Amino acid sequence: LSGPITPELAPPVADDFAFAFDIDGVLVRGGDPIPEAIEAMKELNGENEFGIRIPYIFLTNGGGKSEEERCRDLSKQLELEVSPGQFICGHTPMREMASKYNTVLVVGGEGEKCREVAETYGFRDVITPGDILKANHHTAPFRKMSEVDLANSRDLLKRGALSDIVIEAIFVFADSRDWASDLQIILDIACSKGGRLETRSTTFDEYPPIYFSHNDVIWSASHEFPRLGMGALRSIVEHTFESVTGGKKLKTHAFGKPQVSTFEFATRLLQHWRANEHGLVNAKPPRTVYFVGDTPESDIRGTNAMDAKSKEEWYSILVKTGVYQDGTIPAYKPRATVNTVLDAVRHGIKREM
CB of 317 to Mg ion, least distance (A): 12
Q: Does 330 bind Mg ion (CB under 5 A)?
A: no
User: Taking CB under 6 A as the rule, does residue 25 contact ligand G3P?
Assistant: yes
Q: 264: exposed, middle or buried (C-beta count within 10 Å: 0-12, 13-18, 19+)?
A: middle
Considering only the stretches 109-117, 137-145, 214-222, 265-273, report the one whose residues sit in contact with ligand G3P under the rule CB under 6 A.
Answer: 214-222
Tell me the residue type at 85. Answer: G
Among 18, 20, 23, 118, binds ligand G3P (CB under 6 A): 23
Query: Residue 229 interacts with ligand G3P (CB under 6 A)?
Result: yes
Q: Tell me if 192 contacts ligand G3P by CB under 6 A.
A: no
Name the minimum Å distance from CB 97 to Mg ion: 24
CB of 347 to ligand G3P, least distance (A): 19
Give the DSSP H/E element, type plus range, for residue 307.
helix 301-309
State the number of binding residues for Mg ion (CB under 5 A).
5
Q: Shortest distance, CB of residue 24 to Mg ion, whole angstroms?
A: 4
String of contacts with ligand G3P for each residue 290-309, x by CB under 6 A? -----x--------------
**How far is it, in rounded angstroms, from Cα 187 to Cα 132?**
13
Angle at 75 between CA 106 and CA 273, to 5 degrees: 80
Q: Which is nearer to ligand G3P, 60 or 153 (CB)?
A: 60
* Residue spans of beta strands (DSSP E) within 60-208: 87-88, 103-107, 125-127, 169-172
Contact 306, 260 (CB under 8 A): yes
Find the part of the chain contacting ligand G3P (CB under 6 A) among 10-18, 56-64, 103-111, 310-318.
Answer: 56-64
Total Cβ atoms within 10 A of residue 77? 18
216 binds ligand G3P (CB under 6 A): yes
Q: Where are the alpha helices (DSSP H) in 45-173?
A: 67-78, 113-121, 129-135, 147-152
Which one of residues 14, 15, 18, 22 is an interface residue with Mg ion (CB under 5 A)?
Answer: 22
Of 17, 19, 20, 22, the one binding ligand G3P by CB under 6 A? 22
Q: For the CB of residue 91, give the shortest distance to ligand G3P in the complex, in Å.
A: 11
CA–CA separation, 54 vs 48, rounded Å? 10
Spatial CA neighbour of 235 closest among 254, 221, 222, 257: 254
Eight-class DSSP state of 157: G
Interacting residue ranges for Mg ion, rule: CB under 5 A:
22, 24-25, 294-295
Interacting residue ranges for ligand G3P, rule: CB under 6 A:
22-25, 60-62, 175, 214, 216, 219, 229, 295
